[in-house]
Structure 1
Amino acid sequence: MAQFSDEDRERIHKELIEAGHKLFAQFGFDRTRVSDITEEVGIGTSTFYQFFDSKEALYLVVLTSEREQLFKQLETAVSDIKTPQAEAEMILRTTLEQVRSNPLIKRLFVEGEIRRIDEQLNGTNYDDAASTKSGNDTNTINEDNKCTNPDTGSETDFRVLPQPEEWVARDDVRIDNPDIVRGLLRSLLFVTQAQNTPVVISETYDEVEEALIDTVVTGLFADESMTSSDNHSR
């Protein structure tokens, strides 16, 4: 077994994640081989397993890293926004743009890749496993600098977004359950699947997406003219 200095291990670990990100985004999980990743980094295939237990473990780290980057981007995007309606619109626009442009984000939120890989690694039903997890760390490195399975939780359902709780607490949302609000926001991402298909002709896709955003945001939030009794009779 090759011996590496701490500095080399840190470098190789980072390079494996970068190579995995590049190849998984370009070719997908199934078409990317461990040998493709190690060739990109310039190490032997056997050395890969000093850093990750499996290709699935690396893929899960890449996906959760992408997820964390997206939520940081969303946090920045809404930091100066004053109204919940504008927050919801920005969250939808930002996430939809990422789903269209970033294949890993699409696989994460639309195709449910993180669920499939997490089930393969843990041998359990994702929903059961997710209910026992907590925290948002993207991965855990043991004393040998080997990456163990990251804690995925159930963030693929947008549960790390704090805004829905804040909206419901202020009675700004017509739906009482923040998880339903998150589900509504996430379900809108699936419109991207209809792009360039007979379902939505390409010439009208942008208008369809725009109309959906407007309809969801307008319908989700209570009109300022509503009375307090209307708000509490939801």
Structure 2
Amino acid sequence: MGKKISVAIDGPAGAGKSTIARRLAGELGYRYVDTGAIYRTVAYFMDLWGVSPKDVDGVNRYIDELTIGIEYDDEGVQHMIMNGMDVTADIRTQEIGQKASLISAHAVVRDVLLDMQREMAEQYDVVMDGRDIGSVVLPKATVKIFLTASPEVRARRRYKELLEKGQKAKYEQVLKEVQQRDYQDTHREIAPLKMCRDSVKVDTSDMTFEESVAAIRKIIEEKLAK
């Protein structure tokens, strides 16, 4: 079994990492790993137990009670399994997203999840997205992409997405949450969001989804051709 190919896509919340990474994985025949969903699962579990994401002792105490599994359906969609329950839909709220950002700052959480993520990259060709994939999880990734867009563009995309789901939302509030998430992710002490020196930056502010996918696929193919 030869060395597996790993594509690390990092970037701030709302940059389109998940949708782009999922499409690329499908086109390339790789396994898509949404690490943000893994941290959301931890945040959701702690939330059910009434543990604040800022409660270090509480998180340390309850993390051993959590078992996380990842399954894929016939279409390659990643499903998060929390202690035997599929919580894929439950973790996709703004509140859990904010709490996941805080949860991810805990060393014990990152240690528990790090091996899981690396094992997947050892077993499969992967497209893995998150905040510290290229810098911490897969520092020797075959290809590293830093995907970004302006806060305003990311907030507009998120706002539109919420409305399409039938949820009430105000653009100003969504923008505020995006900016707050950016601050949390870039200022946390452990594995903060940052662009690696060997990453290729892709700003999708003025790109359509299809243009973004094409741009990143071109980078991947050029890297693999060397």
TM-score, normalization by structure 1: 0.29
Q: Which has the higher contact order (CA 8 A, sep 6+)?
A: 2
Larger-Rg structure: 1
